[in-house]
Structure 1
Amino acid sequence: MVDLVGRLLPDELWVLFRRVVPPTEVKRPQGGGRRRAGDREALAAIIFVATSGCTWRQLPPVFGPCWQTVYRRFAQWSQARVWGRLHRVLLDELGARGELDWSRCAIDSVSLRAAKGALTGPNPTDRGKLGSKIHLITGRNGLPLSLGISGANVHDSQGLQPLVRGIPPICSRRGPRRRRPARLHAGKGYDYDHLRRWLRSRGIRHRIARKSVKSSERLGRHRWVVERTVSWLAGCRRLHRRYERTAEYFLSFVGIAAVLICHRRLTQ
């Protein structure tokens, strides 16, 4: 079990996680009771659920805590925004090492089928089936900088401004923190003049493909990195289909996938 926990949750990621997890009361005020299950074993079990795609009830008992305890810990950490804070800490570590490339960022989205819940809608690309959409902005090397979710019927263009605003101030190797890309590449779904004016007002150069003007053959010249990141997100099988009714919990799994991508780059 120790080897499995260490493989799913390396020591470096565990140290960073302890910086963002809120403190918990270990002793019961009334005394007695069982010893509280370890946070590291619970976090490793959560990562196992995210990567394997199994349900909470199918969680193997080798981790130690029962599935009810793991789910309860996942809900507590999701409500405390732990995954987003951990993602930001990893971005700061990468930025301090000079691993983030702001020269050519890209934006895209991916739709997936959903069972039910908030932030879902009829997917126009899936015969109107209920679904959700993941929006993301990545750097030139494919690291996710900003993430968001919406219903599958929400147009891609509506996610550009919230994603750009959602990029946190990230440490740089030299100079102050940075949160604006030098150039943003986008597909034809973002071909709107008000988006171009908004990006220019923020000092961001843009390269947005124009409908019926530019051919689709060369759209992937600089945008393939965000499509590769989408495939990396698919490595977390829990994101193949949305089962969470609560949008906050689904966003937590998206955040966990982004954390694993950034940590992989940090340990290379």
Structure 2
Amino acid sequence: MVRPTSWEVDDGLWAVIEPLLPKVERRVRYPGRKRHPDRLVFQGILLVLHTGIAWEHLPQEIGFGSGMTCWRRLAEWTEAGVWPRLHQVLLALLRGANALDFSRAAVDGSHIRALKGSNKTGRSPVDRGRTVSEHHLITDATGIPLAATLTGGNRNDVTQLLPLLEAVPPVRGKRGRPRRRPDVLLADRGYDHDKYRRLVWDLGVKQMIARRGTAHGSGPGAQRWVVERAFAHLHWFRRLRIRWEVRDDIHEAFLTLGCALVCRRRLAEAQRRHS
């Protein structure tokens, strides 16, 4: 049995997310059953994200609502665009705390098993043709997730280079124009393509992409490891290790929520250092 206190949303996190949730007014006539509190439902969603438990196995006795209630609320908030806005707000708070470093960014991809068919799945070219999806991630110089995308595992990593850069939201948090582009982009040999090098330059970003055929240790790996660490932090959430969702948007919601929670953790660390 999971103790309810293990998944309690602290007041600081709830103060950030509550204003982002759509307001649902209860009907005056035929109001029906009272809506389960958003904060408890959010805790149920976090429980599924952390443990990977099936929705139907979510214990109702701990007060988070049924698995179907939590799933419906997740779908509702996903449609309302809550998770990208939550991630953007936390990035702004990190920048305001001088904990976000746009001097360089790193990109990479990571395959995960997909046990059910969907549009964004494909046969893996490196895992005996198993059906997989791929998480693509861009981080700042310290490994804070700036954006993430989802594709089928049969897509080439380099095709997500520009979508990742475009997915980085305008990050406020300081006076002046919001920051969106890193100064330098680091990537491994899988992104070595002259066409995409030029396109990255066209966005005003200097690229440091390892060349194929060069020896290991001769490229930007000493700085690019932060994105691999970020994947380790993301895949600590068990729901992101294996894809169980048929709907792409639901898995993307978990992926973006995971990025937001990593940002929240880094923000707490920055606040402790300055306290």
TM-score interval, smaller chain:
over 0.9
**How far is 1:8 from its partner?**
3.9
Is 1:252 matched with 2:253?
A: yes
CA distance in 2, matches of 1:38, 1:224: 41
**How far is 1:218 from its partner?**
4.4
CA deviations 1:3-33 (Å, max 9, x no partner) are: 83585411111111112111112x2242353
**How far is 1:152 from its partner?**
0.1
- Name which of structure 1's ranges 5-14 and 102-111 shifts more when overlaid on structure 2: 5-14
CA contact (8 A) 1:104 1:185 kept: yes
**How far is 1:174 from its partner?**
4.4
TM-score by length of structure 2 reads: 0.92
CA contact (8 A) 1:8 1:47 kept: no
What letter corresponds to residue 225 of structure 1 in structure 2? V
CA contact (8 A) 1:5 1:44 kept: no
CA distance in 2, matches of 1:9, 1:111: 30
CA deviations 1:148-193 (Å, max 9, x no partner) are: 0000000000000111111111015343211000101000011011
Name the SS of the counterpart of 2:137 in structure 1: strand
Summarize the Cα distance change of 1:59–1:210 in structure 2 as closer, same or farther, 3 Å threshold.
same
**How far is 1:138 from its partner?**
0.1
Counterpart for residue 12 of structure 1: 12
Is 1:60 matched with 2:59?
A: yes
**How far is 1:85 from its partner?**
1.1
CA contact (8 A) 2:93 2:173 kept: no
Tell me the percent identity.
38
CA distance in 2, matches of 1:37, 1:228: 37
CA distance in 2, matches of 1:190, 1:32: 55
Name the SS of the counterpart of 2:163 in structure 1: helix
CA contact (8 A) 1:8 1:48 kept: no
TM-score by length of structure 1 reads: 0.94
Counterpart for residue 30 of structure 1: 29
**How far is 1:211 from its partner?**
0.4
Name the SS of the counterpart of 2:208 in structure 1: strand
CA distance in 1, matches of 2:46, 2:5: 10
Is 1:201 matched with 2:205?
A: no
Counterpart for residue 233 of structure 1: 234
Q: Please, which runs of 5 or more residues in structure 2 have no aligned partner? A: 270-275
CA contact (8 A) 2:101 2:140 kept: yes
**How far is 1:259 from its partner?**
1.1
Name the SS of the counterpart of 1:110 in structure 2: strand
Name the SS of the counterpart of 2:55 in structure 1: coil
Name the SS of the counterpart of 1:131 in structure 2: strand
CA contact (8 A) 1:136 1:146 kept: yes
Name the SS of the counterpart of 1:216 in structure 2: coil
RMSD over aligned CA atoms reads 1.6
Q: Please, which runs of 5 or more residues in structure 1 have no aligned partner? A: none
Name the SS of the counterpart of 2:127 in structure 1: coil
What letter corresponds to residue 10 of structure 1 in structure 2? D
CA distance in 2, matches of 1:144, 1:258: 6
The runs of at least 4 aligned residues of structure 1 exceeding 6 Å deviation read none
**How far is 1:63 from its partner?**
2.5
Q: How many residues align?
A: 265
Counterpart for residue 181 of structure 1: 182
CA deviations 1:217-247 (Å, max 9, x no partner) are: 3442011100000000111100111111110
Counterpart for residue 77 of structure 2: 77
